[in-house]
Structure 1
Amino acid sequence: MYELHTDRLVLRGWRESDLGPWAAMNADPAVREYLPGVLTREQSEASAARFQADLDGRGWGWWAVEVGATGEFIGFTGLDPVDDGMPFNGVEAGWRLARSASGHGYASEGARAAVAFGFQRLGLAEILAVTAATNLRSQAVMRRIGMTRDPADDFDDPGVPDGPLRRSVVYRLRAEDQRPVRRQAPSRPYPTQGA
C-alpha cells in the first residue's frame, strides 16, 4: 500500500481510531449534504473496511487523511475506479472531509497529491471527478486542481434516487494537461498491518 505525504497532510491506511470520527462525519447532514442520506455507524465501518481492503489489494484507493502536524483524522481522499453502471469508465478522484476541516485548503491539497500519484505512479491518461450539479464547493476544488467540465458529459446518476442530487457533473483532467505539483514528498510503499 502506498502512503502519500503533502506539506500538511498524510494520506494513509485506515486505523481503528478513525472509525469513531468517520462515523460522526457520515452521520452529519452537513457533510452528507450532496450525498443520499446519512450513514449508520455500521455502514460507516463497513465502508472503511472496503476502503482498506482496496488499499491492501491494489496499493491505492480512498486513503484516510490526517493532518500531519497533529495526527488528527479529517476524512478521506484518493482515487477509485468508476462504479459499474455509470455512463463512462475510468478512475475517479474524490474526497470527503469533516466539517471542521473545511476552508483550510485540505481538499485541494489532498486531491492534488492523489491526482499526481495517479498520473506519475499509475500512468493514467485521464482522471475524472463526479459530483452533484448543485455541489459548487466540490466543483471549485475540481477547478483548483486543474480539471475542466464539458456540460455535454452531465448525466443523471443511476445510483442516486430521483431528486435534486441525481443530476451530476463530470470534470476531467488529462495527464498532459496536469499542472506541476508544488513541493511534495514522493509516494512510497507502506507496509500494511500484519505485513
Structure 2
Amino acid sequence: MRDIVTERLVLRDWRESDLRPWAAINADPQVCEHLGPVWDVAQSAASIARYQEARRRNGFGSLAVELAATGELIGLAGIDPVAPTMPFTGVEIGWRLARSAWGHGYASEAARAVLDHGFTEVGLPEIVAVTLAPNLRSQAVMRRIGMTHAADLDFDHQPEPHGPVFRHVVHRIIRPTA
C-alpha cells in the first residue's frame, strides 16, 4: 500500500519509531479532551497494532501523518468502518493531531487527501465523521472538507450505565460525480 502525499504531509503506514511521539500525542489531555481518557504507552502501542491490522484486513485505515519537510510524526488521519456500537453503518473519517500541529491547516489537508483516497481508490459511495457536540474544532474541519451535518444521524451515547450521556454529531459527504 502506497503513501498518500500532499503538499506538506505524508500519510503512511506506521513504523516502530512512531511509538514515542504517538504516545506523547495521546498523553496530552488537550488532544484527548473530546476523545476520551489519555492513553499510556501500552495503549498507544496497542492502537498502532490495531491500525496496522485494520489496514491489512480492509485495505484502508488510520495512517500516520508526518510533515513532509521534516519527517516529524504529527498524528493520524484515515478511514475505518464505523464501530459496531454506532447506530448506523458505513465508513468513518477521523484525525488526531499533536497540539503543536493545530492551527496550520494540517487536519483539513490530511482529511481532504483521505477523502480523495476513500472515493477514488477505495470506491466508497459515502464517508461520515462523528464527534462530540462540543468539539467545534473537528466540526469546523468537517465543514472545510465539504461535509455537511447529518442531523438525522446525531445520537446520544452513555458509555457507562449510570454515567453521563454524550451528544454526538455526524457529518457526511457523498462521493462526487464526474
Whether the aligned pair in 1 keeps the contact of 2:51 and 2:62 (CA below 8 Å) is yes
CA distance in structure 1 between the partners assigned to 2:44 and 2:103 by the alignment: 24
* Post-superposition CA distance 1:3-48 (Å, at most 9, x none): 1010110000001111001111111100000022111110110001
Q: Secondary structure at the match of 2:83?
A: coil
Equivalent in the alignment of 1:181: none
Q: Structure 1: which 5+ residue stretches go unaligned?
A: 179-195
* Post-superposition CA distance 1:121-170 (Å, at most 9, x none): 11111000000000000000000000000323210135578436x21000
Q: Secondary structure at the match of 2:56?
A: helix
Q: Structure 2: which 5+ residue stretches go unaligned?
A: none
Indicate whether 1:176 and 2:176 are aligned: yes
Q: Secondary structure at the match of 2:36?
A: coil
Equivalent in the alignment of 2:107: 107
TM-score by length of 1: 0.86
Q: Deviation of residue 85 (structure 1)?
A: 1.6
**Between Structure 1 and Structure 2, how many residues are aligned?**
177
Indicate whether 1:5 and 2:5 are aligned: yes
Alpha-carbon RMSD: 1.7
Higher relative contact order by CA 8 Å / sep ≥ 6: 1 or 2?
1
Residue identity over aligned pairs, in percent, reads 58
Q: Deviation of residue 118 (structure 1)?
A: 0.6
TM-score by length of 2: 0.94
Letter paired with 1:28: D
Equivalent in the alignment of 1:163: 164
Whether the aligned pair in 2 keeps the contact of 1:2 and 1:59 (CA below 8 Å) is no
